[in-house]
Chains A and B, each alone.
Chain A
Amino acid sequence: MFNDEVAYYFDGSMVGLLSCVFRAFQFKELQVRLCLNDAAQHGLFSDKIEISNNEQHAERVWSALQKKLSSSSLRQFYFAYLSESLDAYQHLFNYCIYVFTSHTSVEKDYSHSSVLAIAQWTKKVGREKHRMEAFIRFKKTKDELFLSLVRPDFNVLLLIQPHFKRRYQDQRWLIYDEKRKFGLYYDLREIHEVSLEASKVDRNLKNGMSQSFQLELDEQEVLYDQLWKDYFKSVNITERQNIKLHVQYLPKRYWRYLNEKLIES
């Protein structure tokens, strides 16, 4: 049954994904299974085609999408892409095929599985963006840098960048994604992409306990850290405690990054 199914192997980048779409229309291969280059699972009978990144092809597909889609749908496309999930990539691919083969606007056709899936992926990524804007905790170092190490579920650092740039214009800050191994550093003028050795900063990185930075911190850092913990305790109303709801809003995997939540051993 799957004899004539084609499999495209690409590197998981946006350029790669759009190059796949270009190739699909070039060779009229509209039923395609996407795979990542490093994945070992090969369908037994499927044709395996490796798609190399082609900037020009990607550019053409993107500008065609810009013509076909509203800005909010383009935004959804980008958000869903940042989920880094193969399922989302497949839906984005199928979505492109659907959009380019339709003469009318189909971006709101929620009866199409890919249109719906992209809306759902967007929601998930958007939720992660929102969480990161709220869950990031900076520590102030001796040399007045506000530093934060995080591990978001999805690749949302570039999405939260404008928020933090607007919010903290007069302090140097660095937000580092320890999972994707890159960070954003704001030097009071502009934002740079940086990399560092996360395990050298956080000595508890590997053992799951609350973050513990081995850097020289600002003299008052301990004081404000403690004041915040005290505040967190004193605003709690025990009569109204609802742990289930609390964990729903603040899943435990984020706790080690929040100083008000202490995780030991």
Chain B
Amino acid sequence: MQEVVDLTINFYRRNYIEGLFLSSGIFKSADHTMERMLQVVKKLRLEENFNGYIHLKTIPGASPELIHEAGLYADRMSINLEMPTEIGLKTFAPEKSHQEVQKDLGLVRDRLIQLKDERQIIKHVPKYVPAGQTTQMVVGAHQESDQDVLFMADKHYKEFKLKRVYFSGYIPINTENNYLPAVGSAPPLLRENRLYQSDWLMRFYGFQVNEIVNEKFPNLDLDVDPKLSWALRHPEQFPVDLNCADYQMILRVPGIGVKSAKKIVQARRFGKIHTDLLKKLGVAYQRAKFFIRCEDSPKFQKELSSNFIRQQILTQGSSKYVQQLSPQLSLGF
């Protein structure tokens, strides 16, 4: 234990590290493990003047007192859901359950709410997990759909007020279990990327989870990103007139991000939005042009089919994942 403390503080003082991510396998019991981790964190904070960031993995099943005390010293706490579906979890880790994880996430959430209320009455309420809680799940190990994954993420954002949900593409290491992808097969990086894009849509772009995936479209499109995919499925929502549409709708235009959308809304108070301004603001114009109207857009424009737009955009850029997507064999020149 002293080793962890020494190493951390010496790395910290040389500015090698921003903070510490402390996790542990369970030895003896959940409480025993959690107590040891708590000791490390307290030593760093109280004896070594460690002002860095601390991310603490909560041990599932540890006593509420220990978890509450740890929250006073850690910036962020997390417990992994491991698998997006309960069935998946039961297949690979029968000793674990989502219920236990959720119980602990709930403990910290309730404490956070309680302290927030107290802060309105009492001036000095101690800081408690200021960077909030997160969780992580492995994707690509079991046959879960993207709908399973994203609905699970959404539920945890809403019910447990999580700051982040992380998705980790499965890297095969196990040769014994035939249910798992074979060793040597590439991790599903593209799928992971699409999941994170969807996660951003839910957190920053005002999308509801069922707009991204639903019974009809349970899996994300690997060719195009989820925002473009939604736009192509909803031609009735476009084109968006940037000079009068509200912020939420501008945000939904493929090729326009949060910062550009805000700049557009600010800039149009001073004059009409023209296409050349959009390019300067940092909008991906080649993508956005199919979905918008500006002051200088032609009055009459032929309506383009979703399929046509999709083809246009796909031929424009070369995705870094092209090789993974291409069904053709590469000849290597």
Contact = CB atoms under 8 A, between A and B. Distances in A.
A binds B: yes
A239 B172 CA distance: 10
Nearest to A102: B270
A116 B271 CA distance: 14
B281 interface: yes
Interface residues of A, number: 34
A220 B10 CA distance: 10
B187 A109 contact: no
Interface string B247-270: 000000000000000010011011
A231 B18 CA distance: 14
Of B189, B266, B270, B320, most A-chain CB atoms within 10 Å: B270
A134 B18 contact: yes
Contact of A137 (B15, B273, B277): B15
A111 B270 contact: yes
A154 B131 CA distance: 30
Interface string A174-188: 000000000000000
A140 B13 contact: yes
B10 A224 contact: yes
A106 interface: yes
Contact of B281 (A116, A137, A166, A169): A116
Interface residues of B, number: 26
B217 to A, nearest CB: 28
Nearest to B13: A171
A198 B161 CA distance: 50
B14 A137 contact: yes
B263 A110 contact: yes
A167 B51 contact: yes
A227 B171 contact: no
Nearest to A170: B49
A138 B13 contact: yes
Contact of A166 (B51, B267, B277): B51
Given A138-B15, A240-B187, A111 B51 contact: no
B11 interface: yes
Contacts of B273: 111
A6 B199 CA distance: 53
B158 interface: no
A259 B16 CA distance: 9
A184 B167 CA distance: 42
A138 B281 contact: no
A68 interface: no
Nearest to A166: B51
Interface in A128-179: 134, 136-140, 146, 148, 166-171
B302 interface: no
B274 to A, nearest CB: 8
Given A138-B15, A171-B13, 19 more contacts: A108-B266, A108-B267, A110-B267, A110-B277, A110-B281, A111-B270, A111-B271, A137-B14, A137-B16, A148-B15, A169-B49, A169-B51, A227-B7, A228-B16, A239-B186, A240-B171, A240-B189, A244-B320, A260-B16
